[in-house]
Structures are given as structure tokens and as C-alpha cells.
Structure 1
Amino acid sequence: MKYRKLGETALNLPVITFGAWATGGWMWGGSEKQDAINAIKASYDLGVNAIDTAPVYGQGASEEIVGEAIKSIARDKIHILTKYGMRWDLTKGDFGFKSKNNDGQDIDIYKYAGKESIIKECEDSLRRLGTDYIDLYQIHWPESTTPIAETMEAVAQLIKDGKIRYAGVCNYNAEQMSEAEKVIKLASNQVPYSMVKRGIEQEVIPYCLNYNKSVIAYSPLERGLLTGKIKPGHVFGEGDHRAGLPFFQGENLKKTNAFLESIKPLADDKGISLGQLVLLWTLEQPGITITLVGARNTQQAIQNAKAVDASISAEEVAAITEKLDQLALVI
């Protein structure tokens, strides 16, 4: 495994960090708990000593599974990244969206980052994870009802209290990051980034490069789209959120698969999968520090971690990017 320093912190994180969204089952059509635990352990054995999760993933289920998976690992050997600011158990802040919990019951998700809520969420996360501190604590989404200063003051207090080590944000734009920095030193911004979703290249990445903030790229495989395993006509399981996303429909899916077929010979030459090649390309993009990659079973976890056993040249990166620039998806 290869590691990179997160911003100006003391954290050296694996470039392939375990993303535990699907681990909680929520929005992915179910997940077997033991499979998820085995996937986390298999990743750790290959050097993936960092896991990113969140309370809202399965409404606590993901954090509990992560906590169980790591309880036999010395705490200073594993890095825990989690989040706050999405509530399913109150109606405060900005309404986010309607969803269903893992029992199929309707729930409303709210984005809320008031001080008292953050303190409560942190305590709940510590309990579910079975730890007394969190390495990186990140606001999950910006919200409009709480001043950023109030939110970050609460996080600063948690750092002072020793309950978290560093502060990060997710899905913030450059202006919001700048506002947060007036109160607290940010380590990173976790944002969506993939071959087919490169919007952060315009403002977020330049800001992060300029101020030495790390970019944690989530969904680098675009929820499985860029593995090449999802073909036109694919039927998703009940509760799988991907069924309604434009990336997985009609011409978009056809065009993406045609692009993937065009770069498959390069993957074949290297003896790696398409997904592994996609991860290598992503990690060579300016400003991208680490990628979050999910796995629902041991096989997926091993394949993800082993992506960095291969390498990709600057010329190969440029050739892939040239093909991407011609990929006209309608999103």
C-alpha cells in the first residue's frame, strides 16, 4: 500500500481508503454484516488502515459494523474517519431528501450542524465505533440554517476535549472552506470525483492546492459504473439508489462502456482490472490525495487494495484523459 499525508496533519492515510457507505446496507439494496466485516479485515491485512464512515449510513449500522471489525486492532494502528450533520431522528436544519431505512420504513433526512447536535452526534459515533477518539471528523454536507462559524466552533471544542484529532469538511465549495478556516484549521475536503464527474477541478482543487488541503475523492468508481461490470439492461436490486441515476441509463451507460472498452487493452497489458486502472488514473490527478473505495465482500476489498501494486505513466494518464474529454454524457 502507498500512503499520503493528509493536509498539514500527522495522518498518513492509504491512497486506497475503505469507504463504508455500502457497509451499512442503506441505499445499496442490503448488505451482509459478516461479509462487510471480512472485507474491512481483508483490506487492513493489505495495508488499508483507514476507514471512512458516517452515522447516516444505515442509521448507525455502518459505524457499528466498523467498530466490530476493528475491535481486535490496536487503536493507534487504524485511522477512523467519520462525519456529522445528517439527522434522521429530528426535523431541524435543511430538509435533505426522503429515503428508507434498512427495514424499508420511510425516513426524512435533514442536514443540520447546530452545536448541540454535533456534540450529541460525536458521542453517539464514539459509542458505536467503540473508541474514545476520532481521527478525522467531517461535516457531511453544508447546511444553511447554522452559521459555519458556530459549526466549526463546536468541532474546535471537540478537538480541545480530545474527542477528535482533526477537522475536515465534505461537499464544501471553496468559499465555504474559506469561511470555515476563519475558525478552525481544516485538513481536507471530501468531495465526489471520478472520470465522469470532474467538476471540482474548476475551483475546489485549485483552492486545496493553494492552501495545502487534501482532497478525499469519494465514488471514484462512480458507484460501480467505472468497473465495466454494469451493462445496458442491468437490473438493480430493490432499494439500490443507482437505479434512478442518469449515469446508469440509456446512452450514458452505452457511451461509458464504449470508453471503458477503449482503455481495457491498457488494463489487460498491466494485468489489472478496469476498476484498478480507473483508481490509478484518479490518484494521478492534481490535488487528489486519497480515494475512498467501497467493498461489500473480501474479493472486492482485495482487488481495490491491490490496485496500487501496478503503476501508470504520465503518458498513459494523458491518453486516457484525452479520451475522457471527448466523452459527452448528458447528466
Structure 2
Amino acid sequence: MSSPSVPVRKLGSQGLQASVQGLGCMGMSAFYTAAPQQEEESIATIHRALELGVTHLDTSDVYGPFTNEVLVGKAIKGQREKFTIATKCGIILGGGGMSLDGSRKHVRESCEGSLKRLGIDTIDLYYLHRVDPSTPVSETFAEMAALVAEGKVKYVGISEASPADIREAHKACPLTAVQLEWSLWSRDSEAEIIPTCRELGIGIVAYSPLGRGFLTGAITKPEDLPEDDYRRMTPRFQGDAFKKNLELVAAVKAIAQRKGVSPGQLALAWVHAQGEDVFTIPGTKRVKYLEENVGALAVQLTADELKELESALPAHKVVGGRY
């Protein structure tokens, strides 16, 4: 086994230690198309992640739904203590749509279900996946606090939440992490959400740090995505928006080529350069992309290079909403 190359740091201020780069497992089972025969490859990717020191695995009960937690459970069996397992509750898929449930009953039932599917006794980091507008956040996180007290959950977090909701949740049960989308082309959290996290000592977990794959430069036309890939339905991947966003990525590719790294590594290195409280969870189901992503940690960016990147891909020039 090769020696780990991924640093482990304190995530947030509640005591959790995690690898600064994790592995987003969603695409192994959901939304980006994943056939059952790919399960073996996905499990091999998780095992390779451990060899490289990528020990922070991110999943959710809604991925599948449920099947991604089962897959992660298979992959970590017999070596659970080597991993930091993060999962989520609060989103329900069904009836052709999505609903939100932050009730105490749902949080508890979801936690019990996740523990069984993952085959573990305690969830290291348990997130509310989305805030349920019909349930006070304080109520949701009172149940999270109860789960912590019972030892079913070690640390808690919240995903895609407003500064007000982050504050309310943090009062009810101290938050370890806020998960949010952050990349060169998704920077709207920088105005209020990230400063709120820093004020409260809450760690930042950046999902889609590669712009849902767009910043890797590998997607050059919508047809590069499978027909049932949900990205085809999102504004940034459609029509004129796709063409204009592709022009922005061309600038990133040019800088990456000059630096001798891949566009994806450059984009990931930019996120890591935003602070020691920032952790990333780029997703992949393939070993080769996992290894490439880990290589981003060796990419050092100077202040001038960071400015150049941000000028080449200014946030206001990105066309289309995130969802």
C-alpha cells in the first residue's frame, strides 16, 4: 500500500478530523447514471481512495435512493474505523418529484435506516441535506442533538442553508460543517454564507468543486453526457449557456496547460487555496480520476496565479443557474 498523500486536518471546531480531500460517492449510484455493473469499479475506487489517504466518504440516503449507502457499506466492511463517513437526511424522492422533511420523526427514522444500510454503529458526520421550510430548523437540530447524545451520530452539519438557518441550527446543536457548492464557477456562497461559517468556527465542505465535471475540460458538448444524466436538464449545460460557459473553461485549460497540470487539478487547487477550513469532496467512480484529483493537492498556486484564474473565469460571466 502506498503511503497516504492527503493531509488530515480538523474539520470545524467540534473535534472531527478528516482528510482535506474526500470522495463524493453520489455519482456511483445516482443522477450521473450508474449501471449496476459499475458497482465493482466503484468499490475499487473507494479502496484505492483509502490507499491514497482519501478517507472522508460523502453519501446520502437520497442517492439511489438508498443504494449508494449500501454500496459504501460494502466497500468499508471490515475497515470501517479507517474512514470518516458522512451521510445526509431530509430529501425524499418519489412520485416523480422531490419533497423535504426536517421533522424529528423523519430525522430519527432516516438515521436508523442509514446506520443499517452502511453497516455501522455511528455516523461520523450527519447532515440535514436541505432545510424543510415547514419545520423550524431548531426543531430539526434538537433531534440531531438527541442522536449525538445517544451516540448514533458523532458530529452534525447542514447543506445548502442560508446564514440565518446556519445560525439557528448551530444554536440548537453545534455544527461541525456546512456543505455548499463552491468552485471557480459557483461562488455565490462567498458573499454571506462562508463569512458566517468562519465567524462561527464551522468547517466548509465544498461539493462539485469541479463544476459538476465542466471544469475538467472533458465535457465539450451536451452529447458527452449520458441521455439520462441530470446535468443535461440544468441551465448551465443547455444551449447558448453551454457554449458561453465552454469559452470560460477554455481559459482555464490554457492556464492549466502552461502550468503542466490538468484543468481539473487546477480547479481543485483553487478551491483548496481558499483556506485551511475548506475541505473538498470531488466525486468520481473511477480510479484514474480519483488519482488525478488527489494530484491536485500537490499543485501550489501563487497569489498572481489565483488572480489570473479568477479573472479568466469571473463568477458574473457564468451563464445559467446552478439548478
Question: TM-score, normalization: structure 2?
Answer: 0.91
Distance 1:209 1:224, change over 3 A: same
Shift of 1:72: 2.9
Alignment of 1:310-325 (within 5 A): 310-325=299-314
**Mapped pair 1:174 → 2:163:** yes
Q: What secondary structure sits across from 1:153 in the alignment?
A: helix
Contact 2:183 2:208 in 1 (8 A): yes
Output the amino acid matched with 1:110.
S
Which residue does 1:19 correspond to in 2? Answer: 24
Change (3 A) 1:88 1:253: closer
Which residue of the partner structure matches residue 198 of structure 1? 187
Deviations along 1:44-87, whole A, 9 cap, x unmatched?
111101101000000111101101111132x3321000011112
Do 2:178 and 2:205's aligned partners in 1 also have CA atoms closer than 8 Å? yes
Assess if the C-alpha contact under 8 Å between 1:214 and 1:287 holds in 2: no
Query: Identity, % of aligned pairs?
Result: 33
Runs of at least 4 residues off by over 6 Å: none
Q: Distance in 2 between matches of 1:113 and 1:326?
A: 32
What 5-or-longer segments of structure 1 have no aligned partner? 90-105
| Preserved CA contact (<8 Å) 1:20 1:62 | yes
Distance in structure 1 (CA, Å) of the matches to 2:218 and 2:224:
12
Gaps of 5+ in 2: 1-5
Change over 3 Å in CA distance of 1:327–1:258 after alignment to 2:
farther
Specify whether residues 273 and 62 from structure 1 end up closer, same or farther in structure 2 by C-alpha distance, changes over 3 A only: same
2:9 partner SS: strand
Counting only pairs closer than 5 Å after superposition, residues 111-260 of structure 1 correspond to structure 2 as 111-260=100-249
- Give the secondary-structure state (helix, strand or coil) at the position aligned to 1:54: coil
Offset, 1:174: 0.4
Moved more, 310-319 or 133-142: 310-319
User: Which residue of the partner structure matches residue 34 of structure 2?
Assistant: 30
Determine the C-alpha separation between the residues in 1 that align with 2:105 and 2:308.
50
**Match for residue 101 of structure 1?**
none
Amino acid in structure 2 at the alignment position of 1:294:
G
Cα deviation digits, residues 20-59 of structure 1 (max 9, x gap): 11112x2222241111111111111111011010000001
Moved more, 311-320 or 196-205: 311-320
Note closer, same or farther for the CA distance 1:58–1:107 as it changes in structure 2 (3 Å cut). Answer: same
1:201, distance to aligned residue in structure 2 (A): 0.6
1:62 maps to which of 68, 75, 99: 68
Aligned-residue Cα RMSD (Å) equals 1.8
Q: Which one of the candidate residues 1, 8, 13 is aligned to 1:8?
A: 13
Give the letter aligned to residue 317 of structure 1: L
Give the distance between the partners of 1:203 and 1:253, measured in 2 at CA: 28
SS in 1 for 2:210: coil
Residue in 1 that maps onto 2:3: none
Partner SS for 2:53: coil
Asked if 2 retains the 8 angstrom alpha-carbon contact of 1:136 and 1:165, the reply is yes
CA shift digits 1:111-167 (9 cap, x unpaired): 101111111111110111110001110000011111112111111110010011011
Please state if 1:263 is matched with 2:252: yes
Residue 293 of structure 1 and its aligned partner are, at CA, apart by: 0.6
Deviates more, 1:158-167 or 1:294-303: 294-303
Tell me the CA shift for residue 251 of structure 1.
3.3
The structure with the greater share of residues assigned to helix is 2
1:252-291 residue CA offsets vs partner (Å, 9 max, x unmatched): 3333333333233432344321101100011112586111
Q: 1:326 to 1:65 in 2, by over 3 A?
A: closer
Post-superposition shift, 1:236? 2.5
| Equivalent pair of 1:136/1:164 in contact (CA under 8 Å) | yes
Instruction: Letter of the 2:89 partner, please give it.
Output: Y
Cα distance in 1 for partners of 2:107, 2:72 equals: 20
Q: What is the CA-CA distance between 1:328 and the residue it aligns to?
A: 1.7
